[in-house]
């Protein structure tokens, strides 16, 4: 392969370049243009340098904004995950309750409001003047507890578990509110299933849930508690206010002289009493729900259900659960990590583009 000698090439190019005459007045044009630019920029109060600095500042600001958005989204993601983790923890800290192994607040369709202990005094609404609302608020705390357990029991244990559940409810001063059983053969050729709804006093609710979970293999367990204290106080206040109104109407009616006035006042009193009855009914329902927690136990008897899982079985089960938990954690972490990587790549690309553009255009 042949190549040209450097000297030959250099000489040829220099000879060729000499054929290009330098245009007369070109440098003067450049100087004139430069002077004009200077004057314009002095009049405008800034030059290209300050514009360049402003562009650099804008670029830095854009990068800072992207990083801030990234940090904000990451922190929000962190808060979100913390909240979701707090749900079972919170439920577990309620008095007299125990958190089950598989908590799923959304599947129960119940919003966990929390047990807000009200430290303020009685409500200042008109109804709060009644003697009922002057009871200390700590004693009025109303919590509605709802639980759902799905049990898998060994063949032949179905009826025994049903009986034990009933005994648990009655032993805790509760009762069986409903029961629906589809019985199979005792030998287990046909599976049996049933759903039992227990009403347990609030203080015994956690204990009964814990005991019920030991009656078979727990497939799923959900417990939720809702603080309804504010609703209860609201009912009390409204009832008190309506009571006061009714008393005032009755006082006015006692002084009424015409039949027409008496009838009109009586009609108003009837409306108020109707409202009071409605509110008292709702309040009593709330009191009942708060006094007795509702535990729904679904029992399934299948041939494969282990009656007494051995230590090895439990260890294997925990191992699988741990593995699944680890995979879930990885999937949860992958989203924010991917988002962070995308943002970082965007920032890097932007920086590289800006740097190359500045090198190409401004240097």
- Kindly list the residues in this chain that would bind other proteins in the complex (CB under 8 A): 1-20, 22-23, 26-27, 29-35, 37-39, 47-49, 52, 359-363
The CB density around residue 153, as the number of other CB atoms within 10 Å, is 22
Cβ neighbors of 150 (< 8 A, separation 6 or more) are 218, 219, 220, 221, 297, 298, 300
CA-to-CA dists, residue 63 to 59, 70, 340, 351, angstroms? 6, 10, 14, 8
Q: In the complex with other proteins, which residue's Cβ is closer, 1 or 331?
A: 1
Q: How far is the CB of 32 from other proteins (least distance, A)?
A: 7
Is residue 233 within 8 A of residue 123, CB to CB? The reply is: yes
Q: In the complex with other proteins, which residue's Cβ is closer, 3 or 124?
A: 3
Structure tokens at 225: 């508690």
Q: How far is the CB of 60 from other proteins (least distance, A)?
A: 16
CA dihedral sign, ordered 239, 243, 249, 253: positive
Q: In the complex with other proteins, which residue's Cβ is closer, 1 or 312?
A: 1
> Which residues are 144's β-sheet partners?
226
Q: In the complex with other proteins, which residue's Cβ is closer, 35 or 352?
A: 35
Q: In the complex with other proteins, which residue's Cβ is closer, 42 or 173?
A: 42
Q: How far is the CB of 5 from other proteins (least distance, A)?
A: 5
Is residue 248 within 8 A of residue 126, CB to CB? The reply is: no
Q: How far is the CB of 56 from other proteins (least distance, A)?
A: 10
Q: How far is the CB of 75 from other proteins (least distance, A)?
A: 38
Closest to 200 in 3D by CA, of 229, 171, 228 = 171
Q: How far is the CB of 16 from other proteins (least distance, A)?
A: 4
320/169 Cα distance (integer angstroms)? 34
Q: In the complex with other proteins, which residue's Cβ is closer, 35 or 160?
A: 35
């Amino acid at each position: 392969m042949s190549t040209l000698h450097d000297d030959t090439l250099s000489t040829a190019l220099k000879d060729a370049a000499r054929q290009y005459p330098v245009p007369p007045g070109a440098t003067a044009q450049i100087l004139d243009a430069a002077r004009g630019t200077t004057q314009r920029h002095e009049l405008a109060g800034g030059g290209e340098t300050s514009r360049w600095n402003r562009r650099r500042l804008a670029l830095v600001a854009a990068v800072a904004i992207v990083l801030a958005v990234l940090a904000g989204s990451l922190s929000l993601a962190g808060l979100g995950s913390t909240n979701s983790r707090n749900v079972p923890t919170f439920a577990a800290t309620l008095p007299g309750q125990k958190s089950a192994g598989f908590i799923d607040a959304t599947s129960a369709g119940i919003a966990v409001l929390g047990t807000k202990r009200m430290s303020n005094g009685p409500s200042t609404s008109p109804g709060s003047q009644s003697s009922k609302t002057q009871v200390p608020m700590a004693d009025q705390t109303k919590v509605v507890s709802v639980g759902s357990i799905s049990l898998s029991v060994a063949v032949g244990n179905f009826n025994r578990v049903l009986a034990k559940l009933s005994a648990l409810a009655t032993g805790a001063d509760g009762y069986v509110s409903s029961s629906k059983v589809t019985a199979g053969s005792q030998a287990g050729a046909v599976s049996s299933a049933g759903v039992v709804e227990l009403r347990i006093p609030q203080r015994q609710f956690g204990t009964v849930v814990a005991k019920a979970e030991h009656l078979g293999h727990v497939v799923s367990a959900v417990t939720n508690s809702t603080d309804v204290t504010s609703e209860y106080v609201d009912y009390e206040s409204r009832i008190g206010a309506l009571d006061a109104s009714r008393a005032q109407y009755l006082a006015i009616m006692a002084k009424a002289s015409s039949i027409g006035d008496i009838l009109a006042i009586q009609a108003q009193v009837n409306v108020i009493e109707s409202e009071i009855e409605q509110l008292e009914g709702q309040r009593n329902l709330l009191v009942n729900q708060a006094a007795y927690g509702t535990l729904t136990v679904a029992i399934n008897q299948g041939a494969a259900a282990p009656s007494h899982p051995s230590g090895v079985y439990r260890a294997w089960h925990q191992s699988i659960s741990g593995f699944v938990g680890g995979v879930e954690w990885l999937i949860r972490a992958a989203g924010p990590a991917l988002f962070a990587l995308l943002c970082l790549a965007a920032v890097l690309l932007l920086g590289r583009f800006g740097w190359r553009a500045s090198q190409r255009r401004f240097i």
